[in-house]
Structure 1
Amino acid sequence: MTERALKLPKPFLTGLNELVPGLMLCVVIAAAASFVSAQYGGPTFLYALLIGISFHFLSDNPKCLPGIEVSAKKLVRVGVALLGVRIAISDVHAIGALGVTALAGAVVLTIGFSLMLAKLLRLPSMLGILSGGATGICGISAAMAISSTLPQKRENEHYTLLTAIGVAAFSTIAMVLYPLVVTVLELSRSEAGLFLGGSIHDVAQVVGAGFMISPEVGDSATLAKMFRVAMLMPVVVVFAFWFRSARQASGNDEAGKQPLVPFFLLVFIGLVVVNSLGWIPPVAVEMSSDISKWCLVISIAALGVKTSFEKLSELGWKPIALLMGNALFIAAYMLVVVYLGRMIF
């Protein structure tokens, strides 16, 4: 093969060079957040957000901006698509009819409650959707996935960042406090798993809370949580259809070119189906999960770089009240479900 044949097109190289500074910045922040989390504990996503915010001064740097934008808007779609390898349709059968109904209801009702509370607090409905979806489904991953279906406006980026920070904080608090609730209320293994898996926001915190009690509760809680993660697919499809016209009208959606169902969502669905058929080897599942996590951590780091605490403070106390209200609502709902299940069975 000749040297000329190996030569890459100049526009491609130019575009790649423009992305490298900002992309490498976000990768380094993600690596630092992962190191701190591994050494000292705590949620990687939250560290990535906070470290990213400390580098906000680079968000307006013309050399870094293209890579930061790609990290914030494109890598999240890769990360969400690869979440499909962690879900199998057969997992639903192990939860039972009551569990499936309760967990699906938790997602729908939390989003509905969040929209209602946002209206009462006179907050934008977009913030209500993001915080409700993040609380009801799977934390920051859900916030990022839902955000990708919304009109790409600066306000929505602020709402996404605020939701991510709040969800990470409340999820960590829940990981510490909810095992105490389980102990005080003397919940059984299955009840504890349903409560923890149905009320804590992020997967990592669900696993941590469950295994604080026992390996059996940890497994039960993880299974319940993965069903909530599976609800990400239909919820994002609904919002993709709902906001399609708004995305096109915003002028940031390459009007007319955006497919009815985003490609990353089709990949997500395909991976769920393939994984359910048992065609993905465990090594590939683990590798894809790791890649998904890295893409999401890099994306949230980029989102942190793009926004400052000064801008967040302008939003006031109401968004915090919204996030706290959502957290309390889903926890109370799951406790009601647990006690209703105890009465029925």
Structure 2
Amino acid sequence: MEKSANWAQFSGLRARWTQGVITLFPGMAVALLVAVSAQFLSEHYGAPAMLMALLMGLALNFLAEKGTRTAAGVEYSARTVLRMGVALLGARISVDMLTDLGGAMIMLVIGGVVATILFGLIAARLFGRGWRMALLSGGAVAICGASAAMAIAAVLPKTDKSERNLAFTVMAVTVLSTVAMIAYPPLSSWFGFGPLESGVFLGGTIHDVAQVVGAGFSVGPEVGETATVVKLIRVSMLAPVVLVFSLVIRAGKLDGDAPEGKRPPLLPSFVIWFMVFAALNSFGLVPESVSTLAGHLSRWALLAAIAAVGIKTSLVRMLEVGGSAIGLVVANTIFLAFFIVVGVHLIG
């Protein structure tokens, strides 16, 4: 009798799991196909993979309409797969990467993250934007571009403009990151920076990891390695920044009122897993091969997620964001570059 009950329970779970896979597969397959296409364009034509995934996703907006077979899988990719990708980023973080930079440079990089977010809150008022856009754009510029934008968007109270603002921010920081990848290496030479200073400048100012690597190694191997380490320090700031944002939002300290929309959890599970993976890697409990694999899986998960975000977002609605939002992201980018350049000069 007990065996029959257990078997019936197992059969029910299997049936629900099978039905879930059938429901989610079409949309997830579309998101992955867009991600693969974006990576192909990136590898063969030098186009930023994140930007290509977003643009192609925007062209497939009809696949996210209610009633389509792909809608559920697209929604799952834009939320759950995104969070998996952010969590896996933690496996690339280690305390050991701080030792070669020195305390002054580390504090400069951390200070750049904090100062840019605070500047974004001030600048948002000047540009007539709300605090949600200020945190989203400021955090994306300060930390790690599209990845940070997606993580921060997950903890902001949801409104009818949330998806639109996220898609816009990802597009803006990716385009600016590509421009910086081309423009900043000659600037580092013009400033007279050595390999260490150039690496800190490039890693501390360019938004996305891929563009940091491209810019750094275009100058030289030593600069590329330093820039990558500096960038990962900025990535490691993701968890504490998200925690602070959650605390401030829950306390209703922004604009003097409790925020509109449903409150997110204090610290989302994907951020906790990010911290767990980072701690395990710092104690040497994550083999290098596993850390490398986690990095690749994270990149593909984030690429598929941003493709899904694009599919969910109407291009017409995204264009409604307006020129002031573009000005805000550009202002944040210029401020971060100015902050790091001045700091490197003073420390040097």
Same fold flag (TM > 0.5): yes
Tell me which of 276, 288, 310 is aligned to 1:282.
288
**How many angstroms apart in 2 are the aligned matches of 1:305 and 1:186?**
44
**How many angstroms apart in 1 are the aligned matches of 2:64 and 2:219?**
43
1:128-159 CA-partner distances (Å, limit 9, x unpaired): 11110010001111111111111132312211
- Equivalent residue, structure 2, for 1:25: 30
1:220-235 paired onto structure 2 within 5 Å: 220-235=226-241
What's the TM-score once normalised by structure 1's chain length?
Answer: 0.92
Residues 195 and 221 in structure 1, CA contact (< 8 A), matched pair in contact too: yes
Label 1:116 to 1:179 Cα distance change in 2 as closer, same or farther (>3 A): same
What's the TM-score once normalised by structure 2's chain length?
Answer: 0.91
Tell me which of 13, 21, 25 is aligned to 1:16.
21
1:144-223 paired onto structure 2 within 5 Å: 144-223=150-229
**How many angstroms apart in 1 are the aligned matches of 2:136 and 2:263?**
19
Alpha-carbon distance, 1:90 to partner: 2.1
Alpha-carbon distance, 1:94 to partner: 2.0
Instruction: Please identify runs of 4+ aligned residues in structure 1 that moved more than 6 A.
Output: 245-249
**How many angstroms apart in 1 are the aligned matches of 2:160 and 2:100?**
42
**How many angstroms apart in 2 are the aligned matches of 1:195 and 1:84?**
23
Alpha-carbon distance, 1:309 to partner: 2.1
- Equivalent residue, structure 2, for 1:68: 74
Could you tell which deviates more after superposition, 84-93 or 294-303?
A: 84-93
- Equivalent residue, structure 2, for 1:331: 337
Alpha-carbon distance, 1:252 to partner: 7.7
- Equivalent residue, structure 2, for 1:117: 123
- Equivalent residue, structure 2, for 1:317: 323
1:229-250 CA-partner distances (Å, limit 9, x unpaired): 1111110111233334789973
Residues 149 and 243 in structure 1, CA contact (< 8 A), matched pair in contact too: no
Residues 121 and 131 in structure 2, CA contact (< 8 A), matched pair in contact too: yes
1:91-110 paired onto structure 2 within 5 Å: 91-110=97-116
Residues 110 and 330 in structure 1, CA contact (< 8 A), matched pair in contact too: yes
Could you tell which deviates more after superposition, 189-198 or 92-101?
A: 92-101
1:113-133 CA-partner distances (Å, limit 9, x unpaired): 111111111111111111100
Residues 164 and 314 in structure 2, CA contact (< 8 A), matched pair in contact too: no
Alpha-carbon distance, 1:310 to partner: 1.0
- Equivalent residue, structure 2, for 1:250: 261
Amino acid of the residue matched to residue 213 of structure 1?
A: V
- Equivalent residue, structure 2, for 1:42: 47
Aligned pairs, number: 336
Amino acid of the residue matched to residue 303 of structure 1?
A: V
Gaps of 5+ in 2: 253-257
Alpha-carbon distance, 1:59 to partner: 1.7
**How many angstroms apart in 2 are the aligned matches of 1:307 and 1:230?**
29
User: Is 1:127 aligned to residue 138 of structure 2?
Assistant: no
- Equivalent residue, structure 2, for 1:52: 57
Could you tell which deviates more after superposition, 197-206 or 14-23?
A: 14-23
Label 1:251 to 1:338 Cα distance change in 2 as closer, same or farther (>3 A): closer
Residues 59 and 306 in structure 1, CA contact (< 8 A), matched pair in contact too: yes
Alpha-carbon distance, 1:263 to partner: 1.4
Could you tell which deviates more after superposition, 330-339 or 60-69?
A: 60-69
Amino acid of the residue matched to residue 330 of structure 2?
A: M
Label 1:156 to 1:208 Cα distance change in 2 as closer, same or farther (>3 A): same
Local SS of the residue matching 2:95: coil
Alpha-carbon distance, 1:307 to partner: 1.1
Local SS of the residue matching 1:90: helix
Residues 85 and 301 in structure 2, CA contact (< 8 A), matched pair in contact too: yes
Amino acid of the residue matched to residue 267 of structure 1?
A: W
Could you tell which deviates more after superposition, 144-153 or 168-177?
A: 144-153
**How many angstroms apart in 2 are the aligned matches of 1:184 and 1:210?**
15
Percentage of identical aligned residues: 39
1:46-73 CA-partner distances (Å, limit 9, x unpaired): 1100110110122214222111111111
